[in-house]
Amino acid sequence: MKTMWAPWRMEYILGEKTEGCIFCKALSDQDHLTLYKDQEALVVMNKYPYINGHLLVAPIRHLSALDQLNKDEMGDLLETVEKSIGILKKTMNPDGFNVGLNLGKVAGAGVEEHLHFHIVPRWFGDTNALTVFADVRVIPEHLLATYNKLKPYFDKMEKMA
């Protein structure tokens, strides 16, 4: 039998669970892996990603449904999704992407009270038997290493806005 080590998970397992919206907290706290924010949208790294580079793009306003967005927010949100995909293409060279919304708990929304897009980069061969048989994901790069790779590009995007 082989052992897979993930020591960074102990912080989550043993740590105190905080209440409140992760996206609203990310607006004022860099500890939440915030890559970008403007007047209408923000980009944060998923702390428990499906794969490296898994990003979350949310409106600044605390909304739970698409029909609550105004036209400016909708446009900026989708433009931020598009620019985020461009940065991931440049920095991580994926073969494709899964991009989507999970609206409602039954649809898989982990944070259903604050609307957000998932951007999941995909590579040929990035799935393996561990996910299927053991409900385990292998994330080959540490979360902070991915953050440090992406952050300079999001800083440039902020200056272009």
Residues belonging to the active site: 116
Distance CA 23, CA 32 (A): 8
Cα distances (angstroms) measured from residue 8 to each of 4, 15, 51, 140: 12, 11, 15, 13
